[in-house]
Structure 1
Amino acid sequence: MSDNTMLTIPARRGKAHAVKKGQIVKVINTHGDQVVDTWAFNADDLGEFMSMEHSRAHILKIIPVVGDTMLTNQRRPILTFVEDTSGGIHDTIVAACDRYRYAFLGVEGYHDNCTDNLHAAMHELGLEAPETPSPLNLFMNIPVKPDRTISFEAPVSTPGSYVALRAEMDLVIAFSACPQDILPINGVGHPPTEAHFTVGK
């Protein structure tokens, strides 16, 4: 595969890819309203991974901006925001959805979820994620209100807008096109859709 080949994160599913240090991962919100849960693991040690808790303490904010570097659970740089045309609203607070979350929301039976999508995507590469870290929720709009409450709102991103991330180590990046269709995080009345990404220079 050549650099910058467009790859699909299928609607309601996950996708993972190997990335070399210095490469740019461009995550495209193809239809404008799709949240993309994002994880990154050290390619040489999957027990080291991008950590929202460690990153927030480093960047001193809850929403990263261009120039900010996300850290691992060993406090090493792993991904740096180099471009963002999406409106700059992302989330570092909320955990990946899972079967327990959908049961809490009243779903009976199985519902696609980002936790399972992460592990399925890693399995496609023959890898096993040691846990489900809290994700970088690209394009997800979770405002913190003056009374310190949060809410789940529609993305502000637009069709074709994107975030570009530079790899600061050899890593495996994993995505989930979030299948949430109960709360409006993928847009009011909009079903989850596919998103796309490229890996290149």
Structure 2
Amino acid sequence: MSDQELSTIPARKGSAAHVKKGQLIRVINTHGEQVVDTWAFAAGDLNEFMSMEHSRAHILKIIPQVGDTMLTNKRRPVLTFVEDTAGAVHDTLMAACDRYRYELLGCAEYHDNCTDNLHEALHQLGLHAPETPSPLNLFMNVPVQQNGRLTFDPPVSSKGSSVTLRAEMDLVIAFSACPQDIIPVNGKNLKPTEAHFQILS
């Protein structure tokens, strides 16, 4: 992929790319209400990956903001938030959806899911992840209520808004345009859409 090329994360599917240390990754919410599950793996060892639990302990927040650096499961810097025009509402709590999640929601047939999207996207690069880490759920709105309960609310991001991340190591970035269409994770219309990303110098 050439520098600054606009790449598609297809609706309900995934995409992945190699990124060099120091490069910027801009993730664009093309239609405004699409959650993008995001993973980052160390280029030389996919057993090292961006970890939500390690990152929360480092930034002392459940929602990262501009200037915050996410860590790997070896507590090394992996991605830093450089710019956010999407309302600064993201999620670090929820696991990637999978076939079992949709079975619990009543799906009798196979449903596209972020877990499978991750592994298929990496497969397209000839890679295999040994597990499915909890993702950084860009644009996902999971408020913590005063009573401690969590809710799944529509994203606050607007059409064309974006998040820009800086790679702090050579890595593989992977995305899934979340296919959730049962609860309003991707907006009240329950219609997943494509999103886009760019790798910048």
Q: CA offsets, 1:4-55, max 9 Å, x none?
A: 1000000000000000000000000000000000000000010000000000
- Cα distance in 2 for partners of 1:174, 1:108 equals 28
Q: Which residue pairs with 1:159 in the alignment? A: 159
TM-aligned CA deviation for residue 137 of structure 1: 0.1
SS in 2 for 1:28: strand
SS in 2 for 1:87: coil
SS in 2 for 1:103: helix
SS in 2 for 1:158: coil
Q: List alignment gaps of at least 5 residues for structure 2.
A: none
- Cα distance in 2 for partners of 1:50, 1:166 equals 13
TM-aligned CA deviation for residue 96 of structure 1: 0.2
SS in 2 for 1:121: helix
Q: Which residue pairs with 2:63 in the alignment? A: 63
Percent identity over the alignment? Answer: 72
- Cα distance in 2 for partners of 1:190, 1:181 equals 5
Q: Which residue pairs with 2:105 in the alignment? A: 105
Q: Which residue pairs with 2:94 in the alignment? A: 94
Residues 133-152 of structure 1: matches in 2 within 5 Å?
Answer: 133-152=133-152
TM-aligned CA deviation for residue 189 of structure 1: 1.3
- Cα distance in 1 for partners of 2:177, 2:126 equals 20
Q: Which residue pairs with 2:30 in the alignment? A: 30
- Cα distance in 2 for partners of 1:26, 1:76 equals 21
Q: Structure 1-normalised TM-score?
A: 0.99
Q: CA offsets, 1:144-166, max 9 Å, x none?
A: 00100000000000000000000
The one-letter amino acid paired with 1:191 is K
- Cα distance in 2 for partners of 1:90, 1:29 equals 12
The one-letter amino acid paired with 1:15 is S
TM-aligned CA deviation for residue 109 of structure 1: 1.2
SS in 2 for 1:70: strand
- Cα distance in 2 for partners of 1:185, 1:179 equals 9
Structure 1 runs (4+) deviating above 4 angstroms are none
TM-aligned CA deviation for residue 2 of structure 1: 2.4
Q: Which residue pairs with 2:77 in the alignment? A: 77
Q: CA offsets, 1:115-167, max 9 Å, x none?
A: 00000000000000110000000000000001000000000000000000000
Aligned length: 201
Q: Which residue pairs with 1:197 in the alignment? A: 197
Q: CA offsets, 1:52-71, max 9 Å, x none?
A: 00000000000000000000
Alignment RMSD, CA only?
A: 0.5
SS in 2 for 1:152: coil
